[in-house]
Structure 1
Amino acid sequence: MRRHSLPLLATLIPLSLALTACGGSSAAKSGAAATAGSGAKVTLSIGDQKGGNESLLKAAGELENLDYTIKWSTFTSGPPLLEAINAKAVDIGGVGNTPPVFAAAAKSKITVVAATHGSSAGEAVLVPKDSALRSPADLRGKKIAVAQGSSAHFQLIASLEQAGLKPTDVTIGFLQPADALAAFNSGSVDAWAVWDPYTSQVLRTGARVLTSGEGLVNGLGFQVAAPAALADAGRSKAIGDYLQRLQRAQDWVFKHPEEWAKVWAKETGLPYEVALDAVKRSNGTRVPVAVDDAAVVSEQKVADTFAELKLIPGKVVFKDFVDTRFNGNLPPSTTAPRSYGKDS
């Protein structure tokens, strides 16, 4: 097959950047670092991903004046983070819309306690710029790379369904981003379903969007806690404070996209231009929202889809894994994502 002109993975962001959208079976990447307030008695163990919430909170000035200690642990993706929560090694962490479904199917001890709603433009099926493929319907009989169990996996399935295709009408290769890009670059696959910031970077190096998740997937991300942490009065109070700080930090990102892009680029090794693209396309569009009935219904659809495809064992009742105590006065989960405008 012909080779495409994309650069090799050396120019792509490190795989450790998998962020909250990703799936897969990668393990925890590093140990913990502490941030403490004077005389703090409560320690909150938080699972994070490189360039994630710790960097965001620090940039927004939200790690100051804590009356509890934060112990950070860095993971390469959502699934192992949720495994750590199930094992009580982590009290809370942020993931995308699909890892909680797989964890729930595995009967993990997890509880969804907070959500954000953002643009799904970064969830995309990419093809080389010179590809003959012009619509999702053209994917029939083609080879597509995607990370199994990721939000991009669900977006791919939804895109195929909208085009009147079934997963069996294409050849899906379950590949993590490093292997997926290599396959995409060599022409071994015809398309790649992936998420931001990978989307933003590859679009700058010789690819185009065949279709995105806008209007197809729910754009939700979640904070997931350990039931044992929620049952502990001190840690539960700390979780409530932490979630409020995240909400303020997300507001800060939208008001300071360039400043956050600089921090994000430094933390992850992303080129600044790519980081800014990803902030404006998806990362900075997120709105803190309630984990309400609409969110539960939307996630139930994700769970049912994967169950029907036999990619998870049995039926998941998503509402059984939700705790609404921190919803407060947050807007509905259907609140429109923030937008930087068509030219952003």
Structure 2
Amino acid sequence: MMRRSILRHSLAAAAVLAAAMLPIRAYAVGPEPEPLADPVELTVGYQKVGHLAPITLIGEELDKLGVKLKTVEFARYADARTALLSGSLDMATVGPADLAIALSQGSTNVVGIMGVGSSKKYVIGRKDVKLESWDDLKGKTVAIAPGSAVWFQFAATLIEAGVPYDSFNAVNIQGGGANFDQALKRGEVDAIVTWEPFESIPVIEGYGYFAKNLEYSQSKAVGAELGMLVATKDAVETKRDAVERFVWAYLDAQEKLAADPEAFASAYADLTGLAPDVAKEAAKPITLGSVVTPEQIKQQAKAFADLGVIQKDVSGEIAEHWDASLVDQAQGK
């Protein structure tokens, strides 16, 4: 996923990344759907991250609507994407780039439905390591997860800022976000590029800090979206009524949590197993609700194909693999 070609692109590459940042899209959920006459099972892959907290609230609601929800936990978006494409799942939460990645790999049995949330993203510096500007990355050791959603955000920002990728030592950390925090705590790296709650934990525990001048969620190509809900084309076609009810229940729960920070923090803690005070802090930067559109994903697909990050340009295929009608249905349109 990380080719050296990304290191040598500067202003010309940044022009390819041009797409306006999109405002947060508010969802107003429509009337509750009628229960299905015959129950349908949906198998959904998810991750224990804060912006997916609504998933903790929908099981009983879906049961009343005739949808038997079976959830499968994955540590990474990429693993959930792989399981979805293999046919093991009906739906999954994945990264914003995963639709383009799947299509570039020749997998067409996938449909994008909606984004799930956004937040500002900062490089997390180790205590006493100076990171006041992008120039301060020079010579530092930075932990990354190549091909991850946050890596796409980070890499796009560096290109637009004209920061050479080889000006610092990028170290690939395997596994979940806790491994990033441990590497930072032990002094093995100077900074980490990760996700919540693993961004807030070093800050709360005092061995790291938000390098707020190194903010990387505002790139024109990738933006601030934290994740996406996708489904297999088979599920959308053969279990559409159940998928519609899942989307309605998710948006209903999302709307309630977005309006109640305390409830959001509580759901965050329930989902992740974090202590309530840690979950409360980690929830603060997150805004629930989609900020991504098919147009943004098209720009992302083209930009990263031009940079050699994904195998081919699939920007022209995004529209036919996006079903906005599911959200419209949930909104009563």
Structure 2 length normalisation: TM-score? 0.76
Cα separation, 2, equivalents of 1:161 and 1:214:
13
Q: Which residue number corresponds to residue 278 of structure 1? A: 282
Cα separation, 2, equivalents of 1:174 and 1:45:
31
1:70-119 Cα distance to aligned partner (Å, 9 max, x none): 22222222112122221222111122213333222222234333223633
State, as a whole percentage, how many aligned pairs show the same letter.
Answer: 28
Task: Tell me the number of residue pairs that the alignment of Structure 1 and Structure 2 aligns.
Answer: 286
Q: Which residue number corresponds to residue 328 of structure 2? A: 328
Query: Do the aligned partners of residues 63 and 257 (structure 1) sit closer, same or farther apart at CA in structure 2, a change above 3 Å counting?
Result: farther
Decide whether the 8 Å contact of 2:84 with 2:232 is kept in 1.
yes
Decide whether the 8 Å contact of 2:96 with 2:115 is kept in 1.
no
> Aligned to 1:62, what secondary structure does the other structure show?
helix
Q: Which residue number corresponds to residue 247 of structure 2? A: 243
- Counterpart selection for 1:227 from 188, 211, 233: 233
1:206-241 Cα distance to aligned partner (Å, 9 max, x none): 212222234234222311111111221xx1111011
1:218-274 Cα distance to aligned partner (Å, 9 max, x none): 222311111111221xx1111011101111111111222223322332342212122
> Aligned to 1:204, what secondary structure does the other structure show?
helix
Cα separation, 2, equivalents of 1:46 and 1:240:
14
In angstroms, what is the RMSD of aligned CA positions?
2.8
Query: Do the aligned partners of residues 169 and 112 (structure 1) sit closer, same or farther apart at CA in structure 2, a change above 3 Å counting?
Result: farther
- Name the amino acid aligned to 2:256: W
Larger CA deviation: 65-74 vs 303-312: 303-312
Q: State the shift of 1:67 in Å.
A: 1.5
Q: State the shift of 1:188 in Å.
A: 2.8
Cα separation, 1, equivalents of 2:49 and 2:296:
28
Cα separation, 1, equivalents of 2:71 and 2:131:
44
Q: Which residue number corresponds to residue 340 of structure 1? A: none
Q: Which residue number corresponds to residue 140 of structure 1? A: 138
Q: State the shift of 1:49 in Å.
A: 2.2
Q: Which residue number corresponds to residue 199 of structure 2? A: 199
Q: Which residue number corresponds to residue 76 of structure 2? A: 77
Larger CA deviation: 218-227 vs 158-167: 158-167
Q: Which residue number corresponds to residue 213 of structure 1? A: 216
- Name the amino acid aligned to 1:215: Q
Q: State the shift of 1:171 in Å.
A: 2.2
Q: Which consecutive residues of structure 2, in runs of 5 or more, have no partner in the other structure?
A: 1-34
- Name the amino acid aligned to 2:246: Y
Decide whether the 8 Å contact of 1:113 with 1:223 is kept in 2.
yes
Q: Which consecutive residues of structure 1, in runs of 5 or more, have no partner in the other structure?
A: 1-36, 332-344
Bigger helix share: 2
Q: Which residue number corresponds to residue 170 of structure 1? A: 168
Cα separation, 1, equivalents of 2:140 and 2:321:
37
> Aligned to 1:46, what secondary structure does the other structure show?
strand
Question: Does residue 242 of structure 2 align to residue 257 of structure 1?
Answer: no
Cα separation, 1, equivalents of 2:63 and 2:321:
31
Q: Which residue number corresponds to residue 61 of structure 2? A: 62
1:150-173 Cα distance to aligned partner (Å, 9 max, x none): 121022213322432122332211
Query: Do the aligned partners of residues 117 and 83 (structure 1) sit closer, same or farther apart at CA in structure 2, a change above 3 Å counting?
Result: closer
Cα separation, 1, equivalents of 2:150 and 2:51:
21
Larger CA deviation: 108-117 vs 194-203: 108-117
